[in-house]
């Protein structure tokens, strides 16, 4: 009987089944796909992680950050520079990146959370540009030409592997962790506060909800997890330069993944990354190299369409649909009951 | 030394006026409908490319094709309003931000796909060379002309906004669109007008800029961003604020470039903006 109930409960929440299947499928992916396609899957998972981290500021705390590439870049540069300058182990570099990004996130969040909408977006873009200019002109950190990581023996301790498969599992663990944080955040007191302020800011304020500390927590969390993704990226690619680290377009793409998938939802960023990354990689592959512009045209069109027709994102739309269906079902059930009575 | 500084300040002021004109459109649209057009810089880029192609065929210099470019970009603005903005006016702030971001990426990609990523410039422009005003002070002619045109355009827009009935109606809509609508002001028409003026201004700025600056798909990146900073520094929606902020930014980037090297000139501008935002979030002249 209890088993039956469990199955019933699971059936009512199909997303859990789908996601479990998805993760199980992902576990066997490296056995099936190889080479470039595995690289694409790693990209998807990494961007899903970055989008998930953005979702905490953008989707939950409701602050449109367009500077999340800063944390990503800081993580990558902290790992690369600490290895080149002081011979640090990449894991130590990763920790350094976490600390640095946490501090930067705090310094951005503290003054900027007073700003709303466009003001916050532009302020975070300005921070991104400032960091970009600093690193482009900082010769000790490679300047405009970027930094290469020295290749060491393939091992977990060195965070370097000859094959892509270990990288795949590491980034998958990171995504699972980030998703777990989202679930926790959504069901925590902060999650309720964030939703309350989104539904009705005046009423929430009247109830004495003060969000600054919770928003700070969200931005610091977001910064540190993005930084870990950056540290992963440099160990995977062994190369970083300012454009690939701090470009505004990267920040926009990170935000876009979450928005398109569904802001404030748990699975939105994963869905968003699974659509956007293959799209941009695919159009890059089939429509000529980067710089042809066609990929950007398609990309831009897609963003405009989503913003106009589906501002809740894909997961948001699916949720609305299932909710509607459920309420319809309930209505029919009620009607049937009333008739039978 | 002091003459060199004078030279730098002069060039900074000239740039400042161009910034004012290019940011003016952004602030009008923002003031009237509370929408920040993130594709603004790419309107500028489109204007520059249009001016360039008109100079190739039928051989019109950007100074002469200015009205054509202004009208074309104004139409682009109307199309943007009608096809995109109209549909997100009641949507969330995120949808509003993203729709113009999509447009930005779209226009940039379109320019890259059609014309490649090369840098172009007008060959043999109508206005070139420089004036030697003092032994050590020479101002580039196209920049002076562009600055003068920018001043004239800014004054005209300011007079229109403050002295004509239509301009006052626009301001009324930006104050309170419901009340304005009750007073019989056609809000939808005012929105379209705001886009015509806003996009027209940036069209003129792009035409003027194309006379002496490189034309490439990414050019909107820096100028668009400077326009946001100008508007945010001046206070969203404020015309006077944009005027002061544009001049301040022109000076800061010129002096910063002179003292710290051109690599850092925008660093100072962004830094200044960031400090301003912390001290005075609503900008110099913004309403709270």
Nearest Cα of chain A lies from the Cα of B77 at a distance, in angstroms, of 15
To probe the interface with B, which of A261, A308, A316 has the most B CB atoms within 10 Å?
A: A308
Contact B97 A118 (CB under 8 A): yes
pLDDT tens digits, B39-77: 999 999 999 999 999 999 888 888 899 999 999 999 999
Q: How far apart are CA A94 and CA A154, in angstroms?
A: 18
Burial class (CB in 10 A: 0-12, 13-18, 19+), A189: exposed
Contact B108 A300 (CB under 8 A): yes
Contact A300 B229 (CB under 8 A): no
Q: Considering CB atoms only, which of B106, B109, B270 is closest to A129?
A: B270
Contact B110 A111 (CB under 8 A): no
Q: Does B227 touch chain A (CB under 8 A)?
A: no
Q: Does A247 touch chain B (CB under 8 A)?
A: no
Q: How far apart are CA A49 and CA A124, in angstroms?
A: 20
Q: How far apart are CA B8 and CA B5, in angstroms?
A: 5
Q: Which residue of A has its CA nearest to B283?
A: A119
Neighbour tally for A129: CB within 10 Å:
24
Q: How far apart are CA A18 and CA A20, in angstroms?
A: 6
Query: What 3-state class would DSSP assign to B104?
Result: helix
Q: Does B14 touch chain A (CB under 8 A)?
A: no
Contact B102 A301 (CB under 8 A): yes
* Biggest distance spanned by C-alpha atoms of chain B: 61
Q: How far apart are CA A91 and CA A87, in angstroms?
A: 12
Contact B108 A296 (CB under 8 A): yes
Q: Does B78 touch chain A (CB under 8 A)?
A: no
pLDDT tens digits, A44-85: 999 999 999 999 998 888 888 889 999 999 999 999 999 999
Tokens of A100: 């640095």
Question: Average pLDDT for residues B186-213, to the nearest whole number?
Answer: 93
Q: Considering CB atoms only, which of A126, A259, A306 is closest to B274?
A: A126
Predicted pLDDT of residue B287: 65
Q: Answer yes or no: are the C-beta atoms of B30 and B236 closer than 8 Å.
A: yes
Nearest Cα of chain B lies from the Cα of A55 at a distance, in angstroms, of 12
Which chain A residues touch B102 with a CB distance below 8 Å?
299-307
Q: How far apart are CA A169 and CA A192, in angstroms?
A: 33
Predicted pLDDT of residue A64: 85
Predicted pLDDT of residue B35: 86
Q: How far apart are CA A1 and CA A138, in angstroms?
A: 66
Q: Which residue of A has its CA nearest to B227?
A: A122
Most confident of A140-149, B132-141, B194-203: B194-203
Predicted pLDDT of residue A12: 66
**Residue showing tokens 């002070």:** B137
**Residue showing tokens 């990449």:** A90
Neighbour tally for B281: CB within 10 Å:
19
To probe the interface with B, which of A307, A309, A311, A317 has the most B CB atoms within 10 Å?
A: A307
Q: Which runs of E-coded beta strand occur in chain A?
A: 147-148, 239-240
Contact B94 A291 (CB under 8 A): no
Q: Which of A105, A109, A117, A101 is nearest to A64 (CA)?
A: A117
Question: Average pLDDT for residues B183-201, to the nearest whole number?
Answer: 93
Tokens of A160: 């370097």
Predicted pLDDT of residue B140: 85
DSSP B28-92: HHHHHH----TTHHHHHHHHHHHHHHHHHTT---HHHHHHHHHHHHHHHHHHHIIIIIHHHTTS-
Question: Average pLDDT for residues B181-200, to the nearest whole number?
Answer: 92
Find residue A155's DSSP bridge partners.
A160
Contact A311 B84 (CB under 8 A): no
pLDDT tens digits, B141-163: 888 998 999 999 999 999 999 99
Write down all domains in chain B, each with its CATH number in brackets: 2-279 (1.10.3470)
Q: Answer yes or no: are the C-beta atoms of B274 and B225 closer than 8 Å.
A: no
Contact A129 B266 (CB under 8 A): yes
Burial class (CB in 10 A: 0-12, 13-18, 19+), B224: buried
To probe the interface with B, which of A311, A313, A316, A317 has the most B CB atoms within 10 Å?
A: A311
Query: How far from the centroid of its chain's Cα atoms is residue B243's Cα?
Result: 11
Nearest Cα of chain A lies from the Cα of B159 at a distance, in angstroms, of 28
Q: Does B93 touch chain A (CB under 8 A)?
A: yes
Q: Answer yes or no: are the C-beta atoms of B26 and B231 closer than 8 Å.
A: yes
Q: Answer yes or no: are the C-beta atoms of B28 and B199 closer than 8 Å.
A: no
Contact B94 A133 (CB under 8 A): no
Q: Which residue of B has its CA nearest to A64?
A: B94
Q: Considering CB atoms only, which of A111, A305, A307 is closest to B278?
A: A111
Q: How far apart are the first and last CA of chain A?
A: 28
> Is the backbone peptide bond immediately before A311 cis, with ω within 30 degrees of 0?
no
pLDDT at B84 over 50: yes
Q: Is A180 left (phi over 0), alpha (psi -120 to 50) or beta?
A: alpha
Question: Average pLDDT for residues B181-190, to the nearest whole number?
Answer: 89
Q: Does B84 touch chain A (CB under 8 A)?
A: yes
B85 against A316, higher pLDDT: B85
Please identify every stretch of chain A with a pLDDT value under 50, giving residue numbers as ranges.
1
Phi/psi of residue A243, nearest 5 degrees: -60, -40
Predicted pLDDT of residue B71: 96
Q: Answer yes or no: are the C-beta atoms of A304 and B99 closer than 8 Å.
A: yes
Q: Considering CB atoms only, which of A137, A263, A304 is closest to B99?
A: A304
- For chain B, the average pLDDT equals 88
Domain boundaries, given as residue ranges, for chain A = 1-31, 33-271
What angle separates helix A294-309 from helix A248-262, to the nearest 10 degrees? Answer: 40
Contact B225 A129 (CB under 8 A): yes
Q: Which of B89, B37, B3 is nearest to B220 (CA)?
A: B37
Predicted pLDDT of residue B68: 95
**Residue showing tokens 């960031």:** B274
Query: How far from the centroid of its chain's Cα atoms is residue A208's Cα?
Result: 31
Q: How many residue contacts between A and B have a Cβ separation below 8 Å? A: 143
């Amino acid at each position: 009987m209890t088993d039956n109930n469990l199955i019933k409960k699971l059936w009512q929440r199909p997303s859990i089944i789908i996601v479990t299947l998805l993760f199980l499928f992902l576990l066997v992916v490296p056995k099936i796909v190889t080479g470039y396609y595995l690289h694409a899957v790693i990209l998807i998972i990494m961007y899903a992680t970055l989008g998930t981290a953005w979702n905490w500021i953008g989707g939950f705390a409701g602050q449109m950050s367009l500077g999340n590439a800063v944390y990503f870049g800081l993580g990558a540069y902290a790992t690369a520079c600490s290895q080149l300058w002081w011979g640090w182990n990449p894991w130590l570099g990763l920790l350094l990146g976490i600390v640095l990004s946490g501090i930067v996130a705090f310094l951005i969040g503290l003054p900027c959370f007073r700003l709303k909408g466009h003001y916050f977006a532009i302020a975070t873009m300005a921070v991104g540009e400032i960091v970009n200019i600093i690193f482009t002109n900082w010769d000790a950190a490679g300047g405009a030409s970027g930094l290469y990581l020295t290749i060491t023996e393939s091992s977990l301790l060195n965070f370097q592997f000859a094959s892509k498969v270990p990288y795949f599992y590491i980034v998958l663990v990171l995504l699972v962790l980030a998703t777990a944080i989202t679930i926790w955040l959504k069901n925590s007191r902060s999650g309720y506060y964030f939703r309350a302020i989104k539904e009705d800011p005046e009423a929430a304020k009247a109830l004495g909800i003060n969000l600054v500390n919770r928003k700070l927590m969200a931005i610091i969390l977001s910064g540190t997890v993005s930084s870990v993704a950056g540290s992963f990226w440099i160990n995977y690619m062994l190369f970083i330069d300012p454009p690939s680290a701090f470009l505004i377009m990267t920040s926009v793409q990170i935000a876009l993944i979450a928005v398109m998938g569904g802001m404030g939802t748990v699975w939105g960023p994963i869905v968003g990354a699974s659509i956007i990354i293959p799209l941009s990689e695919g159009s890059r592959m089939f429509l000529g190299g980067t710089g042809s512009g066609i990929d950007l045209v398609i990309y831009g069109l897609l963003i405009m369409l989503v913003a106009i027709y589906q501002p809740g994102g894909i997961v948001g739309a699916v949720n609305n649909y299932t909710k509607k269906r459920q309420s319809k079902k309930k209505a029919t059930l009620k009607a049937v009951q009333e008739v039978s009575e | 030394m002091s003459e060199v500084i004078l030279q730098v300040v002069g060039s900074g002021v000239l740039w400042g006026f161009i910034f004012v004109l290019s940011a003016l459109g952004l602030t009008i649209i923002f003031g009237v409908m509370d929408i920040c057009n993130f594709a603004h810089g790419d309107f500028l880029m489109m204007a520059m490319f249009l001016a360039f192609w008109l100079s190739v065929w039928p051989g019109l210099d950007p100074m002469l094709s200015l009205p054509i470019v202004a009208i074309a970009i104004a139409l682009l603005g109307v199309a943007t309003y009608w096809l995109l903005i109209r549909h997100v006016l009641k949507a969330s702030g995120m949808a509003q931000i993203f729709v113009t971001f999509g447009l930005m990426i779209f226009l940039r990609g379109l320019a890259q796909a059609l014309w490649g990523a090369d840098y172009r410039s007008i060959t043999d422009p109508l206005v070139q060379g420089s004036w030697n005003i003092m032994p050590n002070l020479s101002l580039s002619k196209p920049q002076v002309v562009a600055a003068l045109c920018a001043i004239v355009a800014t004054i005209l827009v300011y007079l229109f906004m403050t002295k004509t009935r239509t301009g006052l109606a626009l301001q009324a809509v930006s104050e309170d669109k419901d009340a304005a609508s009750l007073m019989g002001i056609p809000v939808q028409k005012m929105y379209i007008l705001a886009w015509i003026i806003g996009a027209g201004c940036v069209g003129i700025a792009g035409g003027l800029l194309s006379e002496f600056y490189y034309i490439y798909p990414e050019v909107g990146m820096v100028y668009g961003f400077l326009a946001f900073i100008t508007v945010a520094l001046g206070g969203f929606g404020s015309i006077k604020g944009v005027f002061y902020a544009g001049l301040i930014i022109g000076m800061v980037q010129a002096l910063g470039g002179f003292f710290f090297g051109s690599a850092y000139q925008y660093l100072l501008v962004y830094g200044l903006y960031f400090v301003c935002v912390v001290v005075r979030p609503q900008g110099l002249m913004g309403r709270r």
